[in-house]
């Protein structure tokens, strides 16, 4: 019996793969349905903000106002901007980008990959004090949020100034996510090193790295077209057509109702999870400070890329829960070192700031020790609306 040829299907598969990789993405990106972007606005799916296509289409549409942050974005309640502006239309739809561990370096890579789309684009960036610890971002937070596609995009990015690019690469080379990728490490070292051999190796690898980047690009496009699912959530109409004063009163009442189990005004459900550890945390952070951290230089990368892109960001400085941090003995001076330092950094670039630091002791402003709560989101929504309507 004559054997069937086995090379034909293999050759065909290779040809199809090459065709998929080499076809310009712009040819197929136009078929991404608008509803895919709309559903992604509150998905909080890392595959969305670690990719390019969904954000590309979002940034091209003036109806979206991107909000970049970390774990606070997932605290969805009736006062959260994705609910408030759903029932109180203001001409824009919040698009949430980030999750726990999404700190400055992760956002820098994302902004760098979209730099050519950020000119005059209004956006909101939430700053959290807990990013600015002495050791800065670590592998446990960086690795799950790192995007290989955006990492390779930086290597080939000609929109970023060489000086900024080198600063970023030097910092990124300290993380295992980069160091464990020999090809990307070689590319980065080719840019930052003065050794001719490093540059030669990078030059030899660039064609292969370019092909690999294209494959990552097509993987993102495939996910964009066939992946994703709307986040299941209930839209509350209770905040519709309310004044800011009414909303503040509603939020305070709700916060009081749901934080009766502790003296720190922390949400009861959150407190139950930490209650057993509370006694052991008393006065344990008396020598701590948010004033010195590698995160400040990482944050400067964010500021610099947005400045180069001519973007129009609003930076929101989120406080900590004053009662809880006093209990832990964390000095006020160490907290205000963060508030004052990041505000100075932002204003030096000419960007706008919404500084909530004075609300450390405002009842029900925070939902736990570090995340915005009932009244916090009301103030956030008000600041966001003011920013959006101001030219």
Structure confidence by residue, pLDDT tens digits, 124-134: 999 999 999 99
Write the burial class of residue 264 (CB in 10 Å: 0-12 exposed, 13-18 middle, 19+ buried). buried
Residue 71 dihedral angles phi and psi, to the nearest 5°: -65, -25
pLDDT digits (tens, 9 = 90+) for 309-341: 999 999 999 999 999 999 999 999 999 999 999
Strands lying side by side in the sheet with 64-68 = 93-97, 64-68, 122-128, 312-318, 352-355
Q: Percentage of the chain surpassing pLDDT 70?
A: 91
Of 115, 110, 183, nearest to 145 (Cα)?
Answer: 110
Q: How far apart are CA 166 and CA 191, in angstroms?
A: 7
Does 16 have pLDDT greater than 50? no
Please give the average per-residue pLDDT across 61-85, as a whole number: 94
Does 224 have pLDDT greater than 90? no
Higher pLDDT pick, 231 / 338: 338
Please give the average per-residue pLDDT across 109-113, as a whole number: 97
The secondary element (H helix, E strand) that includes residue 126 is strand 122-128
Q: How far apart are CA 104 and CA 301, in angstroms?
A: 8
Which pLDDT score, from 0 to 100, does residue 3 have? 47
- Look up residue 369 and give its two tokens: 């020790």
pTM: 0.92
Beta carbons of 353 and 57 less than 8 angstroms apart:
no
Which pLDDT score, from 0 to 100, does residue 1 have? 47
Task: Lowest mean pLDDT of 43-57, 130-144, 184-198, 252-266, name the range.
Answer: 43-57
Does 257 have pLDDT greater than 70? yes
Does 164 have pLDDT greater than 50? yes
Of 164, 174, 186, 97, nearest to 135 (Cα)?
Answer: 174
Sorting pLDDT into bands at 50, 70 and 90, what band is 36?
confident
pLDDT digits (tens, 9 = 90+) for 95-108: 999 999 999 999 99
| Owner of token pair 């951290």 | 293
Structural domains present in the chain? 23-155+217-261+295-389 (3.40.50.1110)
Beta carbons of 177 and 142 less than 8 angstroms apart:
yes
Please give the average per-residue pLDDT across 281-295, as a whole number: 97
Which pLDDT score, from 0 to 100, does residue 75 have? 84
Does 360 have pLDDT greater than 90? yes
The residues pairing with 366 across neighbouring beta strands, listed in sequence order, are 372
Sorting pLDDT into bands at 50, 70 and 90, what band is 6?
very low
Which pLDDT score, from 0 to 100, does residue 26 have? 55
Sorting pLDDT into bands at 50, 70 and 90, what band is 258?
very high
């Amino acid at each position: 019996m004559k054997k069937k040829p086995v090379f034909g299907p293999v050759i065909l598969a290779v040809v199809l793969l090459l065709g998929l990789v080499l076809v310009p993405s712009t040819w197929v990106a136009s078929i991404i349905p608008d509803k895919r972007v709309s559903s992604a606005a509150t998905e909080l799916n890392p595959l969305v903000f670690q990719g390019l296509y969904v954000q590309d289409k979002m940034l091209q549409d003036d109806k979206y106002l991107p909000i970049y942050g970390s774990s606070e974005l997932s605290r969805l309640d009736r006062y959260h901007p994705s609910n408030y502006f759903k029932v109180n239309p203001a001409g824009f739809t919040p698009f949430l980008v980030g999750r726990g561990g999404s700190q400055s370096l992760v956002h820098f890579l994302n902004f760098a990959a979209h730099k050519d789309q950020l000119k005059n684009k209004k956006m909101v960036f939430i700053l959290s004090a807990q990013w600015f610890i002495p050791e800065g971002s670590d592998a446990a937070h960086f690795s799950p949020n790192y995007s290989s596609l955006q990492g390779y995009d930086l290597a080939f990015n000609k929109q970023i100034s060489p000086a900024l690019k080198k600063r970023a690469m030097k910092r990124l080379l300290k993380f295992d996510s980069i160091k464990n990728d020999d090809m990307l490490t070689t590319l980065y070292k080719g840019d930052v090193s003065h050794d001719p051999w490093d540059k030669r190796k990078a030059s030899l690898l660039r064609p292969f790295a370019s092909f690999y980047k294209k494959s990552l690009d097509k993987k993102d496009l495939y996910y964009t077209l066939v992946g994703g699912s709307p986040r299941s959530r209930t839209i509350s109409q209770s905040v519709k057509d309310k004044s800011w004063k009414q909303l503040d009163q509603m939020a305070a009442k709700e916060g009081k109702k749901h934080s009766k189990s502790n003296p720190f005004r922390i949400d009861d459900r959150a407190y139950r999870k930490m209650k057993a550890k509370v006694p052991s945390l008393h006065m344990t952070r008396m020598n701590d400070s948010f004033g010195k951290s590698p995160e400040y230089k990482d944050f400067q990368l964010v500021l610099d890329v947005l400045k180069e892109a001519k973007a129009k960001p609003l930076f929101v400085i989120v406080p900590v829960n004053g009662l809880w941090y006093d209990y832990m003995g964390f000095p006020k001076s160490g907290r205000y070192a963060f508030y004052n330092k990041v505000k100075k950094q932002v204003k030096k670039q000419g960007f706008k700031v919404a500084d909530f630091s004075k609300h450390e002791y405002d009842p029900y402003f925070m939902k736990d020790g570090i995340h915005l709560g009932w009244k916090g989101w009301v103030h956030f929504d008000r600041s966001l609306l003011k920013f959006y309507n101001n030219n």
